[in-house]
Amino acid sequence: NAGVTQTPKFQVLKTGQSMTLQCAQDMNHNSMYWYRQDPGMGLRLIYYSASEGTTDKGEVPNGYNVSRLNKREFSLRLESAAPSQTSVYFCASRGRVDTGELFFGEGSRLTVL
């Protein structure tokens, strides 16, 4: 049982390049999330999807787009990467409505030069 799988694990981009982070979960969860983690800043929500076909902005959505491709997959796209987007990105999913437990992937470390 893989849980939440993110690809790639590491990526280096130049300013202005675009890329997509992929996330897939095999737990049949409805809700999926993208967070970024920066030193001293904790985890900040970028976008989330409460169900297939819906997406909503979190705390720090600027510079990002998302796609909920199907129930399993939720991708995060950087259209024109900036050094401020250097971060570790985590995808997470949640199943039951009555609990807040998030299941996280292992993260994607992105460096923008």
Partner 1 sequence: QQQVKQSPQSLIVQKGGISIINCAYENTAFDYFPWYQQFPGKGPALLIAIRPDVSEKKEGRFTISFNKSAKQFSLHIMDSQPGDSATYFCAARKGGSEKLVFGKGTKLTVNP
For partner 1, the closer of residues 28 and 40 by Cβ is: 40
Query: Residue 76 Cβ, how far from partner 1 at the closest point, in Å?
Result: 15
Of 101, 109, 89, nearest to 23 by C-alpha is 89
For partner 1, the closer of residues 29 and 112 by Cβ is: 29
Residues 20-39 that bind partner 1 (CB under 8 A): 31, 33, 35
Query: Residue 63 Cβ, how far from partner 1 at the closest point, in Å?
Result: 19
**Contacts with partner 1, 42-61, as mask; x by CB under 8 A:** xxxx--x-x-----x-x---
Q: Which residues of 7-32 are buried (b: 16+ CB within 10 A; e: fewer)?
A: eeeebebeeeeebebebbbeeebebb
81, 92, 110, 112: which one contacts partner 1 (CB under 8 A)? Answer: 92
CA dist., res. 66 & res. 52, Å (int):
12
Supply the DSSP string of 44-83, one letter for each residue.
EEEEEESSTT--EE-S--TTEEEEE-SSSBEEEEESS--G
Q: Return the DSSP state at 84.
A: G
23, 102, 110, 112: which one contacts partner 1 (CB under 8 A)? Answer: 102
**Residues of this chain that bind partner 1 (CB under 8 A):** 4, 31, 33, 35, 40-45, 48, 50, 56, 58, 90, 92, 94, 99-102, 104-107
